[in-house]
Amino acid sequence: MARTHYIAGNWKMNTTKAEAVALAKDLVEQLKGKTNKYMIGVPFVYLDAVAQVVKGSNIILAAQDCAATDNGAHTGEVSCAMLKDIGCQCVILGHSERRHEIGESDELINKKVRKALASGLEVDLCIGELLSEREAGEAEQVCAFQLSAGLAGVTEEQMKNVTIAYEPVWAIGTGKTATPDDAQAIHKFIRGYIAKLYNQKVADEVIIQYGGSMKASNAPELLAQPDIDGGLIGGASLKAETFVPICVL
């Protein structure tokens, strides 16, 4: 079945407030009327400013993380209620940089997934293997575990608000990219595994993005694969001139 491309930009810990607002304005202008699904993951401190820019546009505003708890005595945390209050519609969870730099566990990621979905936010759940795991032939095993753990307690109905982003950790920010065939093989496995966790209808409808040094030069071949439905873009999302060409494919 034909699936709409879902192109998301993860700005990570980049931009100043002025840069964030300017980039958002450029994207709103250049993506107006385009039919793919678009999202930008903005640093917490600039979400409110960017929300004013993208409001009413076809660009979804996402946070790059959220708390697993409700408002209360949780110093430094940002709750789903706070994110919704300023106009966020989505949250990126389970990113490899949160898993491997911050040390987030699958259990914590799952708590965040369930909290975000219960709060009415869409979730972009990231999964993917390390280079050592791929070389050991464990890529599918790692992805299956992260899917099972991350989606524990998530209902079939809630899966309508879940996107899966496959990001081979060894290809993030390194300039290395999984070959289209390699990426397709894992995406096909992920879709099949979701069918086992839920059913074929959920598997057919779920959007699975590729994340890992996708850029305008390799995006057409990656997005042409039958089970790759979009991209979670890092570095190339920080400038309109490198992000928009991917968005309009």
Q: Which of 104, 122, 133, 167 is catalytic?
A: 167
Annotated binding site for substrate: 10-12, 173, 213, 234-235
Helix (H, G, I), strand (E, B) or coil at 64: coil
Low-confidence residues of the chain: pLDDT under 70: 1-3
Q: Which of 95, 97, 122, 187 is catalytic?
A: 95
Residue 1 pLDDT:
46
Question: Strands 122-127 and 6-10, how do they pair?
Answer: unpaired
Which CATH architecture best describes the domain 6-26+35-248? Alpha-Beta Barrel (3.20)
Is residue 241 annotated as a catalytic residue, yes or no?
A: no
Is residue 19 annotated as a catalytic residue, yes or no?
A: no
Residue 3 pLDDT:
59
Domain ranges of the chain: 6-26+35-248
d(CA 147, CA 181): 21
**Number of neighbouring beta carbons within 10 Å of residue 188:** 15
Annotated binding site: 10-12, 173, 213, 234-235
d(CA 140, CA 147): 10
Residue 137 pLDDT:
94
pLDDT digits (tens, 9 = 90+) for 175-185: 777 899 999 99
Residue 117 pLDDT:
98
